[in-house]
């Protein structure tokens, strides 16, 4: 039996855990090991002497439930036949779910011809376990004694690569979906909250407005005074609308100053509850001089009621406007998501590139608060036939990488134009740039410069494969402060699908 490595011998003391390294107190009889090896599907068809070779040259290891099999980052230097139990492998930065499960009957660990150096996660036993290990120093001797192991190991490695790729791609899709859901939740929360607050306040404000109208009616104003009051209201509203159209909504500082002036005016004219009326008037941009005009028309008895009625009507309209604007924003978001996902549409359609890029930017609005976004879309750019959902994955990967590079601060420029029978799409950012030594690797699958847990290194690889499917390609130019990913898609897709 091969002796445990010095690294393995130290693990129990270093980690304070039972580690799946020690041989059993009483070695298992050879015929039982051979019988267990016959359950390994990858070894089906071996001769009796070949099974015996593995049984005599392998190292038995046993452990109880919860024992550590290997530590993340520890050297991987042996092939493992799992004879009993299960091994669950977890990554520190990948959440509680196991990303790989090894079950009895599997051949795993380091295989001949593999470039695997270290374990990518921590392995723990679920239930009691029993395995047989073949150290890498014995690989040449094993392949000479059992020639068919070459094909068996290569086939196992290919299956393992396909499975790991599938799991990583699924994890990348789930991560992208999680980010999209988080952005959407953030974007929907603001208008939904505003609509809810305004709608709940609208009932009480409508009652108050009705009370003020009854009070104004109980004053039994003359027809002339009533006409003058209504004319002042219409005239004032018109001026305020023109003022807002010309100057835009008033800023917070100007509103605060105006509120102080209006509060003083209301107190001077003995208007009840001036602290409740002044904020509503200040938000509209009305000036004290316009209220002076009303004071010149109304009697001292009618002025407080007229001002309160006017302010209450403004508050009601403001709340109703907030509800309308919020629901419009929610509708726009839902429409953008529907367009982004190409819901209820055929797989292949004529994709409006400008609209597609705009919908993708809408998905990132919560991350664009401190980003200057510049769009330059050629109006002469014709639609491109393709898979709309997949092209949106490309734009999502490029824009997300740009925002990550800038740490959500800087300038993002998105361009689309026609050039030489191709649709050219460019995504520029003002981030730190790509290290020239890493530039040739950024399109490799599973390669990422992001911190653990932030990315799986599949975004650009997926984008490149999608573009190849559309007979297009992608390239990058980068220097500090200016990085551009350029996508080219042919406008004529004859028999491309």
Q: To the nearest 10°, the Cα dihedral for 119, 120, 125, 129?
A: -40
Least trusted range by pLDDT, from 92-96, 225-229, 337-341 = 92-96
Report the pLDDT averaged over residues 44-49. 92
Instruction: List the strands of the sheet with 371-377, edge to edge.
Output: 371-377, 410-419, 422-429, 482-490, 473-479
Q: Which of 11-25, 115-129, 177-191, 239-253 has the highest mean pLDDT?
A: 115-129
pLDDT score, position 54: 95
**Beta-sheet strands, E only, within 333-377:** 348-351, 371-377
Work out the pLDDT band at 10, boundaries 50, 70, 90: very low
Work out the pLDDT band at 467, boundaries 50, 70, 90: confident
pLDDT tens digits for range 28-37? 999 999 999 9
In order of 44, 51, 155, 436, the CA distances from 38 in angstroms are 7, 8, 18, 51
In order of 1, 141, 237, 482, the CA distances from 145 in angstroms are 17, 6, 96, 58
Work out the pLDDT band at 392, boundaries 50, 70, 90: confident
Nearest-angstrom CA–CA distance, 275 and 259: 9
Residues above pLDDT 70, as percent of the chain: 78
Instruction: Read off the tokens for 84.
Output: 């009993």
Of 403, 409, 401, the C-alpha closest to 487 is: 401
Residue 109: strand pairing partners? 79
pLDDT score, position 412: 94
Residues above pLDDT 90, as percent of the chain: 19
Task: Provide the whole-model pTM.
Answer: 0.42
Specify the higher pLDDT residue, 445 or 54. 54
pLDDT score, position 416: 93
Mean pLDDT rounded to a whole number for the chain: 79
The SS3 assignment for 450 reads coil
Q: Which residues fall within 8 angstroms of residue 132, CB to CB, at 6 or more apart?
A: 33, 36, 37, 54, 55, 58, 59, 60, 61, 80, 81, 83
Report the pLDDT averaged over residues 174-178. 62
pLDDT score, position 497: 41
């Amino acid at each position: 039996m091969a002796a445990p490595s010095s690294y393995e011998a130290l693990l129990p003391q270093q980690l304070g855990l039972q580690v799946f390294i020690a041989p059993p107190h009483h070695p298992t009889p050879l015929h039982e090991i051979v019988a267990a090896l016959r359950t390994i599907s990858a070894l089906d068809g071996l001769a009796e002497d070949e099974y015996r070779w593995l049984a005599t040259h392998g190292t038995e290891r046993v452990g109880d439930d919860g024992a550590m099999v290997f530590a993340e980052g520890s050297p991987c230097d042996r092939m493992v036949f799992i004879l009993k139990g299960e091994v669950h492998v977890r990554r520190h930065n990948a959440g509680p779910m196991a990303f790989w499960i090894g079950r009895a009957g599997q051949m795993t660990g380091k295989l001949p011809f593999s470039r695997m150096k270290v374990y990518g996660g921590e392995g723990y036993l679920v239930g009691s376990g029993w395995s047989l290990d073949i150290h890498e120093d014995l690989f040449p001797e094993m392949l000479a004694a059992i020639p068919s192991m070459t094909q068996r190991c290569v086939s196992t490695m290919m299956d393992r690569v396909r499975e790991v790729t599938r799991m990583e791609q699924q994890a990348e899709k789930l991560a992208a979906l999680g980010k999209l859901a988080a952005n959407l939740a953030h974007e929907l929360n603001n208008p939904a909250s505003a609509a809810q607050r305004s709608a709940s306040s609208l009932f009480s404000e409508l009652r108050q407005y009705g009370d003020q109208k009854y009070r104004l009616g109980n004053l039994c104003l003359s027809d002339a005074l009533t006409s003058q009051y209504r004319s002042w209201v219409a005239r004032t509203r018109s001026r305020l609308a023109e003022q807002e159209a010309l100057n835009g909504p008033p800023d917070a500082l100007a509103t605060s100053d105006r509120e102080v002036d209006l509060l003083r005016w209301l107190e001077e004219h003995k208007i009840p509850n001036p602290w409740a009326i002044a904020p509503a008037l200040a938000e509209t941009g009305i000036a004290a001089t316009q209220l002076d005009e009303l004071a010149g028309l109304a009697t001292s008895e009618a002025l407080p009621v007229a001002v309160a009625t006017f302010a209450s009507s403004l508050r009601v309209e403001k709340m109703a406007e907030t509800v309308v604007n919020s629901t419009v924003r929610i509708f726009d978001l839902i429409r953008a998501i529907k367009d982004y996902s190409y819901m209820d549409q055929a797989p292949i359609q004529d994709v409006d590139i400008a609209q597609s890029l705009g919908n993708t930017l809408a998905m990132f609005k919560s991350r664009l608060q401190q980003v200057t976004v510049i769009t330059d879309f050629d109006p002469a750019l014709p639609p491109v036939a393709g898979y709309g959902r997949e092209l949106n994955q490309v734009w999502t990967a490029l824009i997300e990488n740009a925002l990550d590079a800038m740490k959500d601060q800087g300038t993002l420029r998105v361009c689309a134009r026609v050039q030489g029978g191709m649709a050219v799409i460019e995504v520029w950012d003002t981030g730190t740039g790509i290290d020239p030594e890493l530039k040739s690797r950024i399109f490799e699958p599973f390669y990422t410069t992001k911190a653990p847990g932030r990315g799986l290194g599949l975004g650009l690889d997926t984008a490149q494969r999608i573009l190849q499917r559309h007979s297009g390609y992608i390239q990058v130019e980068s220097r500090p402060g200016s990085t551009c990913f350029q996508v080219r898609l042919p406008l004529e897709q004859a028999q491309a699908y």
